[in-house]
Structure 1
Amino acid sequence: MLADGEIVGDGSWNLTIYVTDLNEKRTMVVKGDMHIGGVMLKLTESFGKEFKKDWSDHALWWPTRNKWLSRPKHTLDQYGVHADAALHFTPMHKPLRIQLPDLRFIDCKIDFSIDTFSAVIQLCKNLGIRHSEELSLCYPLEASHLKQNYQNLKEAKRIKNTQAPDTNTFIAATRGSSNSLDRSNGPCPATPPPPRSLSATPVASQQNGTLRRYGHHIYSTQSDGSSDGGYCGTPPRAASMDALDSLAELSLADSPIEPDSQSRESLLSPKSLLERARMNVGWLDSSLSIMEQYVREWDTLQLRFKFYSFFDLTPRAQDAPRLNQLYQQARWQILNQEVNCTEEEMMLFAALQLQIELQTLAGGSAEAADGYGASAGNASAPEDEIDAALCELQAQLEGGPPARQDITHVPELAGYLKYLRPKRFTLKAYKRGWISCRDGVLRIHGSQEAAARGEPPSCAVELRGAEVTPDAHPASGRYSIKLEVPSEDSMHEMWLKCENEDQYAEWVAACRLGSRGRSLADAQFASEAGSVRALLALQRPRPAAALSAHALPHNLQPENYLAPRYLKKLKSKFTQRLLESHANVKDLPLLEAKLQYIKTWQNLADYGQTLFVVRFMGHKKDEIIGIANNRIMRLDPHTGDHIKTWRFSNMKAWNVNWEIKHMMVQFEEDNIIFSVQSADCKVVHEFIGGYIFLSMRSKDANQTLDVELFHKLTGGWT
């Protein structure tokens, strides 16, 4: 039977497809058993010679289901596509604005159809950043997002995109929902916006040398008037889109001395642990595509180092982009008080920053960039890597402890120290005692003679699982170590006070090894103590400054070098203090200075703790957990003290109950169950699985990134 020239009654039906490149709808007669690849082929053939082009980068997107029909061998029936479905035929690679860790913005094309983890791998490859598994993308946050808990920003973004076109308000925040990150000012304009410069090469401003800002342009509705797509038709700038395909001319080994004022003002400074925890709501789901998380063309995302487990950090030229971006992220964390540091550490950071700026202005960064290009383009790169590896091995061997003749001897560290075990509602003073450390256990005796006679210790402390917080102030001669020791229900606090730097360095190293379940026989003891001594030496100011204030190439503004908490105290004497601290690092070349900055950052007490607001099962108040590269910590929301620590080495399993959004982590000693209040529970699951994945990396030069294993560990079995 024929009706209007079409066969009906044979199971065929009309499918409407919106072609974004042509800004028009096409209707096709299809059947449920037609493959997706066949649908796209039939669609492109219907364009005829008038619109002949390469359509290989296009795919079908289903807006109402928020998913790609990415498997060409699957049929319409297998995907559940029926006559009421409205599909889009759109490019998989789309323009996106990315903010780098150094706060610059770049415009690039990213594959919106693959999972975010794979998209970041491709992006980092184009940018020349090694070990892309350490980075991820996140939504940019605003100050209002730190004031209360949000759980699902991408869902709020979807709600915002489907609202009335003239809306410009945030979604009301309730538990289980969030306000939107979309900065759209309305629908897609009737006349497209003026074309912007889309060169992949950074466009320098004559005033400050930063990348030129184009502003935020996010268009949240389609050209055809519907609101389920979330993007516009092709604007007239499409002719210059090819410029986004390559980032080869963009070097990330250099950064402007100062970012533009708008980028600086957009930085968030958390005022409490709760606000720090709420900053982790913006991470994208690594297992979903960017498009599935309601990101659209020309939206802005941030590229950041997500996992604080950095592999093979060495000052090699080919790693210059990675070192620079990591230094920049550490720098802004410190200046924005995302991590705390002492006054001496703050001045060391300022001195290293000054040295990096001086080396950059002197052309040190240009040499690093040239070296990076040369190593990437000639056959000498492998030889350079081998030489560097041999030098590193030689340094490790020379710095290791001497070989012991008696392999049955268990080394011991002992000496007179002052110790304090604070108790609630009582004032206790430091006591002096003979303290020994052997096999990860601290033993306290009244005297050396009592220990030699074999008398039982007055106190024995198991270090395994303890939190070790160094607290050194070389200027005042105070060298203390804070220990938070696990017990059945909580962490007990204990303080050790050392007499000098050498004693302090050895005891910090011994406590750190003991907390990881290692003894003093470990080869890392000498190197750990050596790194503590080196860091203390850098914090000791030299009265004879290497530079004079008149020799500085620019006026020093304290706010560019100091965290706000130290501005008032150090502002009047800042220049002199900075020059005295700079004398310790004046001979460091550029990459060495950046690496030293990173190492100093890694030695901070708060380093590497990703915080979340959670609610433990059976409790009515919000608490905070911190996830580091080897443990989960339960923290006091007000003081930051450790209530309990669970090591990954004792973890048996971790999973999520997706129906009630509860996270359960099983350890050998107990299980913990909690709901995440300040982010989606998938984010916490991904951090745990991600750190397990990163710990499995080896120094095999031929190792390839096991993407499948990453998703297996972080996917949550969804």
Structure 2
Amino acid sequence: MEESSQVQFFNLTIYITTLSIDKKIKVGGNYDIGSVMLKLVEELGIPMDWSDHALWWPSKKRWLLQHRMSLDACSVQADSNLYFTPTHKVLKIQLPDLQYYDMRVDFSVTVFNAVMYLCNDLGIRHPEELSLMRVPSTKSSARKKQNATVTKKDSSINTSLKSNDSNKSISGVHDESDSLSTTGQNQALTSSRLDTLNVSVVRPEALANSPLTPSQEILRALFKNSSFSDRVKKNSNWLDSSRSLMEQDIVEGDTVQLRFKYHNIFQLNTKLDEVRINQLYEQIRWSTLTEDIDCTDEEMIQFAALQFHIYLIGKCDKKSGNRSNDNDDIDAALSDLQVSLEGAGKGLNQDSGTIPELCDYLKYFKKQRFALKSFKKCYCVVKDMILAFYKHKDDVAGGQAIAKFSLKGCQVTPDVNVSKGKYMIKLVLPSDDDSGHLLLCETELQYAQWMAAFRLASRNKTMADSSYDPEISSILAFLSMQRRKQTPIDIGLQTDVQPQDFVNGTFLKKYKTKQIAHMILEQRSSFAELSTVDAKLKFIRIWEALPGCTTTCFYVKFRNQRKEATELLGVTYNSIVRMDPHSHSILSTWRFSTMKSWNVNWEIRELQIEFDESTLSFACSINDCKVIHEFIGGYIYLSMRKEGHQAADEEMFHKLTGGWDNALQYHFSG
């Protein structure tokens, strides 16, 4: 009783953003955060799911997430106005390919974690390579001040949003007002509700195949600032990875950009990284078109030819109704195969204790010397290397077969014309003469199943052998290649080159339109055999080989220099370079492998890096010191990755990029 009498009770005002009301509750300084939220919910008496809500302190820009910490420990007093608000809010995300999506993002976690959740939903591996950027504001400074805290007006947006008990980070709502000119591919990520889409089951076509040209509004904003100094200043828009979105004045409904931040791309896999490859390709493509990347005329033509080749494949595949990626064709066919084989009375029956069986209606013809070719439809069954023919499916139960043959040692020959839809199998049995039997299949999938069964039988193997499924995959892959090779490209389409879609403005001024079109078509001939994914990967490899393409530049002032002197410093994936402010040529290079210690003085916002033979001390003149500090630490973190699947080490990333102390020193071995 004596201890409780010493507790100071006071009325704490909490604004509930979901209801747009203020609520005063009587609490004590020894109350922990969890007890305060529980007391608030009990006094509200409104039966709804509050599990996604947390306390936010606007004046301190701080989340109160440690539920066992007391109010006294958090320095919360009677005049501390807190918000009780959902942690997951809707944020408009512009992807690297310039498409916009409304996503549900956790505003209470660090930007590093938020990006990890987003990339997981979007199917992008290695999320540590990406981060979020602010969109350059075109509104008045009053609007900027208004965004400094979550005002009641801004928070009232939450009124229409019901809390979701799952921690999904994407809503899948696509804003049509900001949509691109080609939005048909975005339907997979479009939903009329904010809390129903599960991105893990969404087909990735909208993210793996982007439209050629976005809307004019996006293009105007994209080409607005193209000078070198503007590009350097743009680096200040990167969000701090060690802080949450709310702590950086990002409120619900704001627009941010998801971009590849670190140009140290790791383990690109054409089978696993179709979305990742496309998004990186699109980011580089727009960087070349906006002249953010300096390249020669020859390199520009290579980029343009690859872009045009990718555009042609996409247009031809869309016209023919076929997908451009061979692996996707195989995966889709195998998926259909699994469904068909699980159906009753058709396909393989591989239940435990039964012999695998393949059965379906086929068109059959027995070659005879003086007979006309006339195919008859019959029900065919292959089981334990025995081929049987029945008039009807119902005859199988009674054993009323027209004929039965042993497939051991048979010879099988394909007779396929993909462009004409002809899928025929010539089967010569040991007991036959050279005439043999002809089986006509209706679809590629049906042909692959039966052809695989006959090939295994020719090697005295049944369909129970483990090589049966790989054999089907091999046949489908071959058919897919034949289809792509035999798909004609319209001559008119080949010459329909719009150079302004594939080269930058400087290149357009150097040459005439017909000259550029001729150069693009001529260069494309060397890439004609590449698939869409391989062409994008080739595009990325050419970009990686460009000198200085992976350099992120900052304006800095070195210690003991004149105040007006501004130097240009660049950070690459393995070094820090000093550059000429006018010609942008490299003057000095310091490699990370020679770094001995790294000291960051957050009070004067200065970095001091000690190398084997020199010491570098500088402060940023435009960007925040934290931005360049995070780039250096991020590249060092990425250099520590090893081959194989490896989860991101969040603790190590924050140690290298967060700067937990005012004078934090890291040691690295060469």
TM-score normalised to structure 1 length: 0.63
Q: Which residue of 2 aligns with 1:4?
A: none
CA 1:333–1:580 in 2, change beyond 3 Å: closer, same or farther? Answer: same
Identify if the C-alpha distance between structure 1 residues 27 and 366 changes in structure 2 by more than 3 Å, giving closer, same or farther.
farther
Instruction: Give the match for residue 232 of structure 1.
Output: none
The separation in 1 between residues aligned to 2:330 and 2:628, in whole angstroms, is 36
Distance change in 2, residues 1:642/1:272 (3 Å)? farther
Structure 1 residues 705 and 374: alpha-carbon distance in aligned structure 2, compared to 1, 3 A threshold: farther
Alignment of structure 1 residues 232-631 onto 2, 5 Å: 240-243=193-196, 246=199, 248-249=201-202, 251=204, 252-268=207-223, 271-316=226-271, 318-363=272-317, 367=325, 370=328, 550-552=492-494, 555-572=496-513, 573-620=515-562, 621-631=565-575
Question: 1:606 Cα shift?
Answer: 2.3
Aligned residues: 488
- Contact 1:105–1:211, Cα closer than 8 Å, also in 2: no
Q: What's the counterpart of residue 656 of structure 1?
A: 600
Tell me if the contact between 2:91 and 2:104 (Cα under 8 Å) persists in the aligned partners: yes
What's the CA shift for 1:119?
A: 0.6
Q: Does 1:670 align with 2:670?
A: no
User: For the residues of structure 2 that align with 1:625 and 1:281, how far apart are their CA atoms?
Assistant: 14
Deviation at 1:655, TM superposition (A): 2.7
**Which residue in the other structure is 2:341 paired with?**
none
Following the alignment from structure 1 to structure 2, what is the Cα–Cα distance between the partners of residues 106 and 562?
A: 27
RMSD over aligned CA atoms reads 3.6
Mapped partners of 2:283, 2:526: distance in 1: 23
Q: Residue in 2 aligned with 1:12?
A: 9
Aligned letter for 1:138?
A: M
Q: Of 36, 60, 64, which aligns to 2:33?
A: 36
Contact 2:97–2:279 (CA under 8 A) maintained in structure 1: yes
Task: Name the counterpart of 1:438.
Answer: none
Please tell me the residue identity of whatever aligns with 1:240: R
Q: Which runs of 5+ in 2 are unaligned?
A: 162-169, 339-487, 662-670
Counterpart residue type for residue 128 of structure 2: E
One-letter identity of the residue aligned with 1:249: V
The question of whether the paired residues in 1 share the 8 Å contact of 2:569 and 2:577 is answered with yes
**Aligned: 1:690 with 2:631:** no
Larger RCO of the pair (alpha carbons < 8 Å, separation 6+): 1
Q: 1:194 to 1:118 in 2, by over 3 A?
A: closer
Letter of the 1:653 partner, please give it. Answer: S
Distance between the aligned counterparts of 1:366 and 1:24, measured in 2?
A: 54
Distance 2:613 2:579 in 1: 19
Distance 1:365 1:676 in 2: 49
Q: Report whether the alignment pairs 1:708 with 2:654.
A: no
Q: Describe how 1:130-209 pairs up with structure 2 within 5 A.
A: 130-141=125-136, 159-161=145-147, 199-200=172-173, 208-209=181-182
The Cα offsets for residues 102-151 of structure 1, whole Å up to 9 and x where unpaired, read as 00000010000001101100000000001000000000126999xxxxxx
Alpha-carbon distance change, 24 to 354 in structure 1, aligned in 2, over 3 angstroms: same
Unaligned residue ranges in structure 1 (runs of 5+): 2-6, 146-152, 166-185, 214-237, 381-545
Deviation at 1:570, TM superposition (A): 2.2
245 and 313 in structure 1: CA distance in 2 versus 1, 3 angstrom threshold: closer
Residue 578 of structure 1 deviates from its aligned partner by 1.2
Larger radius of gyration: 2
Deviation per residue, 1:178-219 (Å, 9 max, x gap): xxxxxxxx9669999999x97546869999313899xxxxxx
1:158/1:8 Cα in 2 relative to 1: closer, same or farther (>3 Å)? farther
Report how far residue 551 of structure 1 moved.
2.9
| Counterpart in the other structure of 1:79 | 74
Distance, in Å, in 2 between the alignment partners of 1:81 and 1:682 is 29
1:189 to 1:162, Cα distance in 2 relative to 1, 3 A? closer
The whole-number CA distance in structure 2 between the counterparts of 1:375 and 1:306 is 37
Deviation at 1:575, TM superposition (A): 1.5
Which region of structure 1 is more displaced relative to structure 2, 572-581 or 283-292? Answer: 572-581
Which residue identity does 1:349 align to in structure 2? F
Q: 1:647 to 1:247 in 2, by over 3 A?
A: same
- Residue pair 1:96, 1:300 contacting (<8 A) in 2 also: yes
How far, CA to CA, are the matches of 2:333 and 2:86 in structure 1?
A: 35
Q: Partner amino acid for 1:209?
A: T
1:161 shift after superposition: 3.2
Pair 1:63–1:618, CA change in 2 (3 A): same
Deviations 1:564-598 (A, max 9, x none): 11101223312111111111111100110000000
CA 1:293 to 1:17, structure 2 compared with 1: closer, same or farther past 3 Å?
same
State how 1:638-649 maps to structure 2 within 5 Å.
638-649=582-593
Match of 2:576 in 1: 632
| Cα distance change, pair 261–297 in 1 and its aligned pair in 2 (3 A) | same
Matches of 1:191 and 1:58, distance apart in 2 = 15
Provide the residue aligned with 1:107 in structure 2. 102
Question: What's the offset of the Cα at 1:45?
Answer: 1.1
Shift of 1:263: 1.4
Q: For residues 250 and 286 of structure 1, do their structure 2 counterparts lie closer, same or farther at Cα, with a shift above 3 Å needed?
A: farther
Q: Structure 1 residues 210 and 368 mapped into 2: Cα distance closer, same or farther (>3 Å)?
A: farther
Structure 2 CA distance, aligned partners of 1:138 and 1:269? 17
Conserved in 2, the CA contact under 8 Å of 1:609 and 1:626?
A: yes
> Matched residues in 2 for 1:615 and 1:273: separation?
18
- The answer to whether the 8 A contact 2:570-2:578 is kept is yes
Structure 1 pair 194–360 and aligned structure 2 pair: CA distance change class (3 A): farther
After superposition, give the CA deviation of every residue in 1:5-39 in whole Å (9 maximum; x if it has no partner). Answer: xx998511100100011110111110011110111
Which residue identity does 1:332 align to in structure 2? W
**Contact 2:316–2:489 (CA<8 Å) still a contact in 1?**
no
For 2:392, the equivalent position in structure 1 comes to none
User: Residues 555 and 566 of structure 2 are in contact (CA less than 8 Å); yes or no, is this contact kept in structure 1?
Assistant: yes
**Cα distance in 1, alignment partners of residues 604 and 334 from structure 2:** 50
The structural deviation recorded for 1:276 is 2.4
Shift of 1:341: 0.8
Distance 1:97 1:699 in 2: 34
Alignment identity in percent?
40
TM-score if structure 2 supplies the norm length?
Answer: 0.67
Q: Aligned in 2, Cα 1:709/1:157: closer, same or farther, shift over 3 Å?
A: farther
Q: Distance in 2 between matches of 1:704 and 1:372?
A: 29
Conservation of the 8 A alpha-carbon contact between 1:269 and 1:336: no
8 Å CA contact retained: 1:204, 1:210? no
Provide the C-alpha distance between the structure 2 equivalents of 1:284 and 1:191, rounded to a whole number of angstroms. Answer: 23
Q: What is the CA deviation profile of residues 266-313 of structure 1, one whole-angstrom value per residue up to 9, with x for unaligned ones?
A: 114655433321121100000000110000001000000000001101
Give the direction of change, closer, same or farther, for the CA distance of 1:564–1:706 in structure 2 (3 Å limit).
Answer: same
Alignment-derived partner of residue 367 in structure 2: none
